Each structure stands twice: as C-alpha cells, then as structure tokens.
Structure 1
Amino acid sequence: MEKFLIINPFGIGDILFTTPVIRALKENYPDSFIGYWCNERVRDLLKNDLRIDKIFALSRGDIKRIYKKNPLKGFFTLLNLLKEIKKEKFNASLDFSLDSRYGLWSKLSGIKKRIGFDYKNRGRFLTERITLKGYSARHVIEYYADLLRFINIELCDKALELIVSKENRARAKERLAELGVAPSSLVLGIAMGGGASWGRDAAYKQWPAKNFARLAGKLIKDLGASVVLLGSADEKPLAEVMLKASICHCEEPPKGATKQSKRDCLPAGRQASLPKFTLSEVEGVARNDGGCVIDLTGRLGLEELAAIIKELKLLVCNDGGPLHMAVALGVKTVSIFGPVDDRVYGPYPPSSDHVVIKKDLPCRPCYENFRFKGCFNEKKCLEDVTADEVYEKVKTLL
C-alpha cells in the first residue's frame, strides 16, 4: 500500500488549494493511506474528509510557541510528533512548506521520497524538487500540480472541496432561524477581514470597513437582504465599526473605538445612504424593515463558519480564507483584491460565479515572491473601489 504525507503548514486558502491533490491521490491510488501535516488552527477544515486517514496538527510555528514557553517541552513535542510520523512508514511526502526544516523532519521520520519546492535553497533535504523563485502569473494550484508529476499523476480536476457534515449544516440553518432569518430570505455574507498570516500588515489587504457598511446598507435597503458578518475574533473591531455606523449613524468615531475603527468610521454626511437600524433583543443583530445585519464575527469555529457560508446566496469579501471556503462550497463570491495578484491567489478554477474586483495600478501587485513590499500609495488599490461598484457586481450574480 502506498502511503503519502501531505505537508502544508499555512492558512485556510493554502489548505484548500491542496484538496485537488488529495482527490488526485485517491483517484490514482485508491488503496493509499494519506496523512496530512498542518497547523492546529486549520485542522477542522480536514477532519470531515474521509480520504485523509490521519492528521498531524502541529506546525513549526506551533512548536516555536511551545518552545518559547518551555524549551524542553518544545523539544519533546517535536520528537513525539516525528515518532508518530515515523510509525506510519510513509513512502513519500508532498511538501508544500517552502521550509527546509520540514524536509529535514521528513528525512528523520524515515520518508525516503521527499517531494517539494526548492525556494532559496530550502529544498536541500528533498529528494525530488522544483526550483522556485516565487509564485507568479499562474495559480498556486498549478504549482502544486507540478509536484504530482513526480508520482506520475497529471492533475486534471482542479476544483476545490470542503466537506460540511450534515449535523453542522442543520445547526447552521437552526442558528440563522434563531436569529430571525426566514428560510425564504436572501442571505448574503460579508467577511471584512482576511490576511491573518500578514500580522500587522493585514489591514493592507482589507477594503475599508466604512465601505462595507455602505454596501450592507444598499443590500438591505434595495434588496431586503439579511447580511451576515463573518470573521475571526481578531476582526471583531471591524464588525463593530460597521454595526455602529449603521445603527448610530455616528458623526464621530464610536466611544471606545480602536485606532483602526476610528480611521474607518463613516465621516459626517456619508451616512444618508445607510438605513437606520435598531438593535433587536437578539445580541449582535441590527434590523430595519425588510432586512438585517447579523454579526457572527468571533463566534464560529471553522466547521461552523463553513456551514454558515454554505447557507449563503453570495459572499462579499477580501482576499482571504472565507473567499476560498465559499469557492470550495459552491457559493458565489465577489472579492476585492488589493496588493495580491488574483491570478495566483484568487478564486480557482476561474468561473463566472466568482467576480474579482481590482484596480489596474502600476504599483500592484505589491505582494510578490512571498513578500509584501509595503504600500506607498495610501491603499489606493482598495480605497478606489466604491460600494456602488461592488453592489453592481453583486446584483449581476443574484
């Protein structure tokens, strides 16, 4: 029996980009055993995929955090993980990490055939490698497909997949009903965050919250939509800006607003296009006649998030994990891309169900070869995208 270990320690999008690889492995080696080495944060994206036999959820970053608190514990955590991997006697690893340490750890785990990318000489522990300067002009999935040729697989079906359990789908329907969303409602999603892996630079990937607020107002006022706000706990301030702007028609930044939320608060005179909401008795829901905004940011795990996205008619979002979750779930999207090249990291495969809004500026993309060069143009690529422009794209897909 062939035994394969997929290594991808990155975020939501990168994990979903490997789902065509998982499918191809099982189609070409039906009796194979597939292991997946990922970080703990994304484990739940994979747990319902029955083609994956074992998940090793511990990345270099996870180990580093443990090591900083307790070096001895960090060392033994890594040692125990490598022992677990070695027990499985994998024939080959498909290493998408771009990190020499994973190649070394695979070697120490007894994996004879180690396939991956040689980026900046980080592939020195690999046995089969493709030299890589960066991802450019073609999608990440196309690069992943190149590695499969080392095990005689031609990747033909490149569609993303994300499996949601029946239980989670039922719970998502119940949750929306509890929040007052009727089964016949037009339910649209907004994910204002994205770019968690960028750390302090994440804001450079995000369309301003004030624009999302204006868009939500139009979706509710003109279409009678129920708008669900989605995101992580770290993105809660963005949702608060939007809700407070919509509910309070704030002339000044809301009391207690963060620096980021103060920048994004709607300026005086621009609230007229937003319908006035009143808070319902259900926490996190703002309503007006015919529509509502439901704030679920920071309240959902990945499995629950996937289930809620599955219930949407369409998702409006930045470049980030929720975008690729929606694509994988067959939900239409309108995404706003700033510094990142959508040809490389955008919705895939290309489809009329997924519209990318971007501005053709000479300074973009400014994220190339895995590096953000910094913004010297005041986020013009995102600031120049208007709520009206996004709204028109949404209407074409509904």
Structure 2
Amino acid sequence: MKKFLLNASSGIGDIMFFLPAVLALKETYPDSQIGFLFRGDETTKETVSSILSIAHNKIDDLQYYNNSNFIHNFKVLLQLKLQKYEYGMILKYDGQSKSVWAALILKLVGCKTIALDGYVKENQYIDNIVPVAKRENIHNVDRCFECLKYFGINSEYNENIYYRRIFNKEKIEKTYTQLNLGLSNEEFIVLCVGANKVSFKINGKYKSNDVKNWPIENWIVLANSLNKENIRVVLVGGKNDIKKIIDCKERLDNSILNLVGRMNIAESISILEYAKMVVGCDTGLMHCAASLNKRTLMLLGGITPIQAQGYGKNSESIYLHKQCSPCSGTGKDVFCNDPVCMKEISVENVLERILNIC
C-alpha cells in the first residue's frame, strides 16, 4: 500500500485546485492512504473539513502546522512519522509565498518529496524536482497535476475527473433541502460578492492587501439591474463581507435574497449546485461552482484567466489586460494602492456578458 502525504494551501480555491489530483491518486492506487498537511490552525481545519463533508472525500488524515507553535508542530511530526508516509508532494504553485517549512516537515517524516521547480528556495529538502511552465501559462489545476507525472498519471486525466466528481451529489441535495430556501433548480443567478485579500511573505512577515475584490457598490447595482431583467438574484459571501453589504443594504431591491455571511461553506456550495449561473471575482466559491460544471463568469484583475479562470469549458472571465497585470504572486499586488484592473471593469460590461451567457 502506497502512502502519500500531500502539502497544499488551505484556501477554498486552493483545495479545489488539488482535490482532482487526490482523486486521480486514489483511482490509480485504490488501496493508498492519503494525508493532507497544511499551514493553519483549528479554524482552518474546520474550513477544510466543511468542504470535504460534501465531497467524495479520499483524504484519510488532516494535519496542520503553525509557524509560531513549536509544540504543536512537534506533536504533528511525531504523528506523521508513525504513519510511515512513503511519498510527500508539495502541490503548490509559483506565485504563492515560498516557505521551507512544509518541505522540512516532509523530509523529517521520511518522505521521498516531490515538488514543482522553484517553489522552495533553491529546492531545499526536495528529492524530485518537476519542471513546470510559468504561472501565467498554465491553470492551477493542471499545475497540481504536473507532480503526478512522477507516478505516470497523465495531465489529460484531470478534466475527466474534475466535473461533478469532487462533490457528492446526494450530500449536496440533502444540505440544500435542509436550507428550505424555496428556490427551484436553475431559477436564479448567484453573485459571490467577496474575495480574500492577497498575501505575500516579505522579510519573514506576511503582508496582505484587498485587491481582488470588485467594489461592493458595483455588486449592488448589478444585482438590481439583473432584478429589473426579471432574473432572480442570490448574494453569497463570507462573514468578512457582512459589513460591506450592510453599508449598502438599503439600496438592494427587496426581492434579492441576501445570504452574505449567513451560510457556511457546505451550504454555500449546495446553493451553487442549483444556480443557473455564478458570477464573482477570484474566490474559492467560484472554483467550487466550476467543479460543479456550472456556468461561471469571473472578474479578474491581477491574475490571468489561463491561471485562475474557472476550470473548464463552461467558465468565462473578464480581464482587462492592464499594463501592470498580471501582478499576482510577484509581491507587487500587496503594495497596490489603486487596483484599476478591477475598478475599471464596468457594471454594464458584466451585465451584458451575463445576459449573453444566459
């Protein structure tokens, strides 16, 4: 039995990028044991568990490390050593903050470690380096699959495994039924109004910046405009987006269903399954929608469509090709004070694209 310990980022979108690789490993090696190691804390672990709760979960063990908690890291290291993992894979990609922590842990566990070229500085603690195209030339899903070539798993495998294979339809239906929202299948469009801040490690410290979001005022105008077109609109977003929407709530038409901050991740994903279309920025729920094979329209600024647009033929994007773009992963995005790449995407442009797609 082969034992794989996978390291990846724990953001919702990042999980959607690497879960197809997990399924491919499990189908190639049905008796394998797969662990997932990520940087975070108990809250992060709850987020990951929530996503996996409505997925075809093939991950046997979840473990996190924390850069500032040596005692916890030591306990995790001992637990991982007892599991006797054979292979370690770092399923991260160029553009994410580089850290030697994961590679060091995998090395101490005793894994034969595989990683994409350049992710770890000077490829420290990596046994097998996998060459890969520049980040702007390859989608993040395909990038994760590059590591699997070490095991003879061809990258053409991923599109077949991606659609409707990650999530468990029966679990989604059960979750959606319990919400009792009174919405029929494909009767509504979902707008994902938030996106996480970008972060980058500089001189050992993480700096963040809110540059991936589209102005909340634009979302309000778009929602009301769709409503005038007799299209039912549902707003979703995380707890961090509640304050933004509250400030503009009185301008929302009363018939628009505002669920921002009211749904957990599993519930939000179940809503996406029944939507006619999903619109949002570069955020995890958009990648969940793409994996459900929904029609998606992503608003992208500092990252190219090739790298981060929803995966598959039903996904489209609006990207203005600004001179300063792409800046994602370069560190420049965390210092951007005027994200014109997002601000200059007009409501009229987005509305027109939605109506054409629908």
Normalised to the residue count of structure 1, the TM-score between the two structures is 0.77
Opposite residue 154 of structure 2, the aligned amino acid is E
Distance 1:192 1:146 in 2: 32
Q: Tell me if the contact between 1:190 and 1:315 (Cα under 8 Å) persists in the aligned partners.
A: yes
RMSD (Å) for aligned C-alpha atoms: 2.5
Alignment match of 2:249 (pick from 235, 243, 248): 243
Structure 2 residue matching 1:119: 3-state secondary structure? coil
2:174 is aligned to: 170
Q: Tell me if the contact between 2:172 and 2:270 (Cα under 8 Å) persists in the aligned partners.
A: yes
Instruction: Indicate whether 1:234 and 2:240 are aligned.
Output: yes
Q: Tell me if the contact between 2:91 and 2:144 (Cα under 8 Å) persists in the aligned partners.
A: yes
1:251 is aligned to: none
Instruction: Indicate whether 1:88 and 2:83 are aligned.
Output: yes
| Deviation at residue 368 of structure 1 after TM alignment | 4.1
Q: Tell me if the contact between 2:214 and 2:281 (Cα under 8 Å) persists in the aligned partners.
A: yes
Distance 1:381 1:130 in 2: 32
2:202 is aligned to: none
| Deviation at residue 370 of structure 1 after TM alignment | 6.1
CA-to-partner distance for each residue in 1:175-195, whole Å, 9 max, x for gaps? 243xxx442772111111112
Instruction: Indicate whether 1:36 and 2:31 are aligned.
Output: no
Structure 1 residue matching 2:121: 3-state secondary structure? coil
2:203 is aligned to: none
Distance 1:317 1:298 in 2: 16
The alpha-carbon distance between structure 1 residues 184 and 327, as it changes in their structure 2 partners (threshold 3 A), is closer
Distance 1:186 1:333 in 2: 15
The alpha-carbon distance between structure 1 residues 128 and 294, as it changes in their structure 2 partners (threshold 3 A), is same
2:104 is aligned to: 104
Distance 1:356 1:294 in 2: 24
Distance 2:178 2:141 in 1: 35
Distance 1:241 1:393 in 2: 27
Structure 2 residue matching 1:19: 3-state secondary structure? helix
Distance 2:81 2:186 in 1: 52
Q: Tell me if the contact between 1:4 and 1:92 (Cα under 8 Å) persists in the aligned partners.
A: yes
Structure 2 residue matching 1:367: 3-state secondary structure? coil
| Deviation at residue 173 of structure 1 after TM alignment | 3.5
Opposite residue 62 of structure 2, the aligned amino acid is F
| Deviation at residue 33 of structure 1 after TM alignment | 1.7
Point out where structure 2 has 5 or more consecutive residues left out of the alignment: 93-97, 200-205
Distance 2:157 2:63 in 1: 27
Instruction: Indicate whether 1:372 and 2:342 are aligned.
Output: no
1:257 is aligned to: none
Instruction: Indicate whether 1:395 and 2:358 are aligned.
Output: no
| Deviation at residue 321 of structure 1 after TM alignment | 0.7
Within a 5 Å distance, the mapping from 1:312-391 to structure 2 comes to: 312-349=275-312, 351=313, 353-369=314-330, 372=333, 374-375=335-336, 378-391=338-351
Q: How many residues align?
A: 336
Q: Tell me if the contact between 2:208 and 2:334 (Cα under 8 Å) persists in the aligned partners.
A: no
CA-to-partner distance for each residue in 1:48-98, whole Å, 9 max, x for gaps? 445524232414xxx24xx4xxxxxx3221122112212221110111245
Q: Tell me if the contact between 2:176 and 2:270 (Cα under 8 Å) persists in the aligned partners.
A: yes
1:282 is aligned to: none
2:113 is aligned to: 114
CA-to-partner distance for each residue in 1:140-178, whole Å, 9 max, x for gaps? 22322221122222122323353146355334244243x
Q: Tell me if the contact between 1:92 and 1:114 (Cα under 8 Å) persists in the aligned partners.
A: yes
Distance 1:363 1:184 in 2: 41
After the TM superposition, which of the residue ranges 33-42 and 156-165 deviates more from structure 2? 156-165
Structure 2 residue matching 1:204: 3-state secondary structure? coil
Alignment match of 1:213 (pick from 200, 215, 220): 220
Normalised to the residue count of structure 2, the TM-score between the two structures is 0.85
Opposite residue 205 of structure 1, the aligned amino acid is K
Distance 2:30 2:336 in 1: 48
Opposite residue 259 of structure 2, the aligned amino acid is L
Instruction: Indicate whether 1:56 and 2:62 are aligned.
Output: yes
The alpha-carbon distance between structure 1 residues 371 and 158, as it changes in their structure 2 partners (threshold 3 A), is farther
Structure 2 residue matching 1:166: 3-state secondary structure? helix
Opposite residue 114 of structure 2, the aligned amino acid is I
Distance 1:11 1:367 in 2: 16
The alpha-carbon distance between structure 1 residues 120 and 78, as it changes in their structure 2 partners (threshold 3 A), is closer
Structure 2 residue matching 1:392: 3-state secondary structure? helix
Point out where structure 1 has 5 or more consecutive residues left out of the alignment: 68-73, 247-276, 278-286
Q: Tell me if the contact between 2:281 and 2:299 (Cα under 8 Å) persists in the aligned partners.
A: yes
2:189 is aligned to: 188
Distance 2:294 2:352 in 1: 18
Opposite residue 304 of structure 1, the aligned amino acid is E
Opposite residue 49 of structure 2, the aligned amino acid is R
